[in-house]
Amino acid sequence: MTLTKKSIELPLRQDDQGVIRVGDSRVSLDLIIQSWQNGFSAEEIASQFPVISLADVYASISFYLQNQEQVDAYLAENDELATSYRQMLESLYPPSAIRKILSSRGD
């Protein structure tokens, strides 16, 4: 039997905000890689996100493994952005003030 090598098309695209998404879904590469790093199998990840195929999950993980340094830098940059947004929101809307408002609604 002879195997023919077929190139694999990456299911990744970058949206208008610069987020790398899987296929035509809104599932980000971040979610796939974080789930995989947390010990989930590709099959478990695909079941968590039924809008993407198992093949797309494997392709995303493969892309990560082949480009780990670049993807890790991308993930770190996204973490820094998320931290700065969270800090900004917490300064505008302190959690203690939010808790006070929510607890007063229960009276």
DSSP string, 68-86: HHHHHHHHHHHHHHHHHHH
Return the pLDDT at 9. 86
Strands (E), 3-107: 12-14, 20-22
Q: Which of 32, 38, 39 is nearest to 64 (CA)?
A: 32
Residue range 12-105 forms a domain whose CATH class is mainly alpha
Return the pLDDT at 103. 83
Which stretches of the chain score pLDDT less than 50?
A: none
pLDDT digits (tens, 9 = 90+) for 36-45: 999 999 999 9
Answer whether 82's CB lies under 8 Å from 74's CB.
no
The half-sphere exposure of 98 on its side-chain side, counting CA atoms within 13 A, is 7
Q: Which of 28, 26, 41, 10 is nearest to 79 (CA)?
A: 28
Domain boundaries, the chain: 12-105
Return the pLDDT at 97. 76
Return the pLDDT at 106. 66
